[in-house]
Structure 1
Amino acid sequence: MSKTFIDHIKTRRTQYALGKTLPKSEEEISRLIQDVIKHVPSSFNSQSSRAVILFGKQSDKFWHLTKEILRKIVPADSFASTEAKMDSFAAGAGTVLFFEDQDVVKSLQEKFPLYADNFPVWSEQSGGMAQFAVWTALAEHGIGASLQHYAPLVDEAVQKEWDVPKSWKLRAQMPFGSNEQPFPEKSFMNDNDRFKVFS
């Protein structure tokens, strides 16, 4: 019996123990990520989400750059845990850098001034959906991932290294790869504290 959509959502979990073995080729995974982002909804069909997909040495380079930037601001006596974390992300097969194009946001603000204050919020919502959808799609194929946030510390380095337009605002980073450890049990708060249903 094939899995349902909710089954795939339940499969998506944070994986910190990543490896470099992938069940599909880089080209297939790249196409999967692009297709997912392409079909994620966005307000006014703005399509403001952008992505840079890094594999292998390029992914390693991103986490090395991030580590060296953090080295400058994290106290030396507590840097070991930060370094270990960066190395665990670099141990994966790749990284997706998620962006939101601010030129798109500004253009919509100018075109629809009545909703100007909402467009940055709606852009963030679209970006969040893109991140979740990619994460779930990777999980569907047995690929582990986690979602990280090192912007704006790494923004300048990323723009320079991968020729990213200045209008692209870095929002999240997703290291991915093989699942090298099983997932622990996940606890949930009481449904009555989260939901209200009326009919």
Structure 2
Amino acid sequence: MSTPFLETVESRRSLYQLTNTSPIPDARIKEIVSLSLKHAPSAFNVQSARAVILLREQHEKLWDIGLKVVQEEMPPAAQAFLTKRVVGFRGAYGTVLWFEDEDAIDILKQKNPAIQRLLPEWSSHSSGIHQFINWTAFSKEGLGCNLQHYNFSAKFVESVHELWNVPRNWKLKGQLVFGQPVGGPDRVKEYKPIEGDRMLVFA
């Protein structure tokens, strides 16, 4: 019964050749993000994940910011490649911004002082699960995606908060770019050996 799910997991890849169209309606995009928010696990069921969906012109505004970041903050040797990448992001249909609510995490820290040092790590685990569910579900629906982390730039993060009035206690974690794919992965993915190197079994 789990085979279709595992097949989707296996086929999910980073796709960069995307158009500004979608094979599914906006309502379905919202439904998938909502499902990811509702059903992904979190530490003590804190439900600290937050999402902002940017479509069409709003999505383009985001990557206009990304382009400025590349031009102003990246070393000259990297600018040509990264500019091409960001132009590709901008040409897609939308982006889901994934956040973690730091106020929710702080409340949980106060309730559980013995484990408070671990909560930021657990928060990151949960955020990754949310993003993975979103990405895999989009792939199943025919959307191509790639996951970005332009939150390395303070200017990018500040611009996101200001432009879309995002609460300051929401910490930006990742940007899932999506659109109609027009090409496959950029490269053949190589896999390291599993048994012995990456997995141990004791019975």
User: TM-score band (shorter)?
Assistant: over 0.9
2: CA distance, partners of 1:144 / 1:93: 10
| Corresponding residue number in structure 2 for 1:55 | 55
State the Cα RMSD in Å.
1.6
2: CA distance, partners of 1:171 / 1:4: 29
2: CA distance, partners of 1:41 / 1:135: 16
* AA matched with 2:173: R
CA contact under 8 A between 1:63 and 1:86: conserved in structure 2? yes
How much has 1:2 moved relative to structure 2?
9.9
| Corresponding residue number in structure 1 for 2:176 | 174
Moved over 6 A (4+): none
How much has 1:187 moved relative to structure 2?
1.8
How much has 1:129 moved relative to structure 2?
0.2
| Corresponding residue number in structure 1 for 2:191 | 188
| Corresponding residue number in structure 2 for 1:198 | 202
* AA matched with 1:55: L
2:158 to 156, 159, 165: 156
Percent of pairs with identical residues:
36
Normalization by structure 1: what TM-score? 0.95
CA contact under 8 A between 1:18 and 1:91: conserved in structure 2? yes
Structure 1 residues 5 and 77 mapped into 2: Cα distance closer, same or farther (>3 Å)? closer
* AA matched with 2:66: T
1: CA distance, partners of 2:87 / 2:171: 25
1: CA distance, partners of 2:29 / 2:88: 21
Normalization by structure 2: what TM-score? 0.93
1:109-164 per-residue CA deviation (whole Å, 9 max, x = no partner) reads 11111111111111111000001110000011111101111114111000000000
| Corresponding residue number in structure 2 for 1:133 | 133
2: CA distance, partners of 1:174 / 1:135: 7
Matches within 5 A, 1:10-159: 10-76=10-76, 78-153=78-153, 154-159=156-161
* AA matched with 1:191: I
The runs of 5 or more residues in structure 2 that have no matched partner are none
Structure 1 residues 195 and 56 mapped into 2: Cα distance closer, same or farther (>3 Å)? same
CA contact under 8 A between 1:37 and 1:133: conserved in structure 2? no
1:147-193 per-residue CA deviation (whole Å, 9 max, x = no partner) reads 11111411100000000000000011111011110234322111121
The number of equivalent residue pairs is 199
CA contact under 8 A between 1:152 and 1:170: conserved in structure 2? no
* AA matched with 1:97: L
2: CA distance, partners of 1:146 / 1:44: 29
2: CA distance, partners of 1:65 / 1:95: 13
The runs of 5 or more residues in structure 1 that have no matched partner are none
DSSP 3-state at the match of 1:173: strand
* AA matched with 1:84: K
